[in-house]
Amino acid sequence: MKRKLIAAIGAAAVLTGVAACGGSSDSKNKSDSAGPADFKGKTLNVWLMSGSNPPGWTKDITAAFQQKYPGAKLKITVQQWDGIQQKLTTALSESTPPDVIEVGNTQTPYYAATGGLKDLTSVKSAIGGDDWVPALNGSAVYNGKQFAAPWYFASRVVVYNKKIWSAAGITTPPKTQDELFSDLDKIKSKGTKDAFYLPGQDWYGFDGFLLDAGADLVKKQGDKYVGNLDTPQAAQAIDLYKRLNSYGTAPKDKDEATPQQSDVFAKGDVGAFLGLGWEASGAITKNPALKDQVGFFPFPGKTAAKPAAVFVGGSNLAITQGSKNPELAQDFLTLAMSDQFEGELAKEGGVVPNKASLDSQLAGNEFGTASSAAAANGGTTPLIPAWGNVENAPNPITTLFMTGVLQGQSPSDAAKKADAEIDKRLSQQ
């Protein structure tokens, strides 16, 4: 009796399973039947990076796009920086890659060299490229050809919690590093565990300190680049970094995205962190009580004369070589680069726009003001394809050098290991 029941259950399970299998295969039905002039049913796939597209801008550009192409759909997918290269590489090799992708400025030469990005040289003017600031366009040009459109730039500033700072009796932002540390001491003595939250693997932040100390991550030796961390300047920069890290409980072996430092800041008990505008607004979204409490200032220099040098991060927009909708993709690019949307992005996101004429949009955005002041004194990584290898996880700058020193190795020992790995990666293609 019992057995019959079991057999029946078994058979039923088999049948339902098979039935379910029948229904599962239609997960990728596409209706690409439309003709070239008809945009109905077309979908433009756009990959943007986490933190790049503020909500207002996203809503407006989607509306504008769909008004211009009735029936077409704009699908924006937000990607995480962590592991993006392995994802992008495979995506670019596929028959239906995303049509438009955002590529970090340091990673753009890598992808230009793979041939995965469409050559935009002939349409540069049409997209609006005549007024792009040449210095900002540098990373989008490879071998004399335009492979992407410079989209925005940003440099990290100190984001601070005004309530915590004023509770410690501090009313004006520090102008020198000495002032910064004495302020942090005061905040710490008030019982704030995280006077400054700086996770051990924020290499963008570290690169700023390094640039300020007067060195680069790599140097040119003959006609090739090699690691350059075994220097007094790097030792000085990591020392500053280590000192700042000790003003909080941030992990020494994690980067600023694990966990998102904006989430940590959102809890309201962190004095300050080194961050970007979207991280500050992310924190406010999470904890609206912070709305009027968030302030910004450029990371101070050694003297009050000028703020410290910073790493200028930025992003380009590119069309993939394999895009099935190259016209729509180009029009989307034109739209995004237009004064209207480039301006809106600058205004809402507080990022530096690609044209000097739009800089005025930053007025009133507190982060943007601090950030562009800092960016005046900025630098970036070498614009060579092999640089992309260095950023692949595990990144030797962060895992071997920064975490190594923070956990007690001597800067020189850690630098030797990191440099060896950097050399190896820079020599690969």
Residues within the interface to other proteins (CB under 8 A): 2-4, 6-7, 9-10, 13-14, 16-18, 20-21, 23-25, 27-28, 45, 50, 77, 80, 82-83, 85-87, 89-95, 110-111, 113-116, 249, 251-253, 257-260, 263-264, 321, 388-389, 392-394, 399-400, 403-404, 407, 425, 428-429
Adjacent-strand bridge partners of 176: 301
User: 62: how many CB neighbours lie within 10 A of its CB?
Assistant: 15
Residues 6+ apart with CB under 8 A from 210: 216, 217, 233, 234, 237
Residues 6+ apart with CB under 8 A from 204: 156, 311, 313
Q: How far is the CB of 260 from other proteins (least distance, A)?
A: 5
Q: How far is the CB of 372 from other proteins (least distance, A)?
A: 28
Which pairs with CB-CB distance under 8 Å and at least 24 residues apart come from 79-83? Answer: 79/47, 79/48, 79/49, 79/50, 80/49, 80/50, 80/257, 81/49, 81/50, 81/257, 82/255, 82/257, 82/258, 82/393, 83/393
Q: How far apart are CA 380 and CA 391, in angstroms?
A: 13
Q: How far is the CB of 426 from other proteins (least distance, A)?
A: 13
How would DSSP label each residue in 104-118? ETTTHHHHHHHT-B-
Residue ranges with strand state E in 194-237: 218-221, 224-227
Q: How far is the CB of 115 from other proteins (least distance, A)?
A: 5
Q: How far is the CB of 122 from other proteins (least distance, A)?
A: 21
Q: How far is the CB of 99 from other proteins (least distance, A)?
A: 12
User: 176: how many CB neighbours lie within 10 A of its CB?
Assistant: 16
SS3 category, 55:
helix
Both ends of the chain: CA-CA distance in Å?
68
User: 328: how many CB neighbours lie within 10 A of its CB?
Assistant: 23
Q: Decide whether 234 or 352 has the Cβ nearer to other proteins.
A: 234
Q: How far is the CB of 174 from other proteins (least distance, A)?
A: 28
Q: How far is the CB of 78 from other proteins (least distance, A)?
A: 10
In a 10 Å sphere around its CB, with 0-12 CB exposed, 13-18 middle and 19+ buried, how is residue 123 labelled? middle
Q: Decide whether 166 or 410 has the Cβ nearer to other proteins.
A: 410
Instruction: Map tokens 């004064």 to a residue.
Output: 339
CA distance to 20, 31, 120, 390, per residue, from 401 (Å)? 52, 50, 38, 13
Q: Decide whether 344 or 391 has the Cβ nearer to other proteins.
A: 391
Q: How far is the CB of 79 from other proteins (least distance, A)?
A: 9
Q: How far is the CB of 196 from other proteins (least distance, A)?
A: 16
Instruction: Map tokens 């078994």 to a residue.
Output: 10
Q: Decide whether 251 or 301 has the Cβ nearer to other proteins.
A: 251
Q: Decide whether 268 or 301 has the Cβ nearer to other proteins.
A: 268
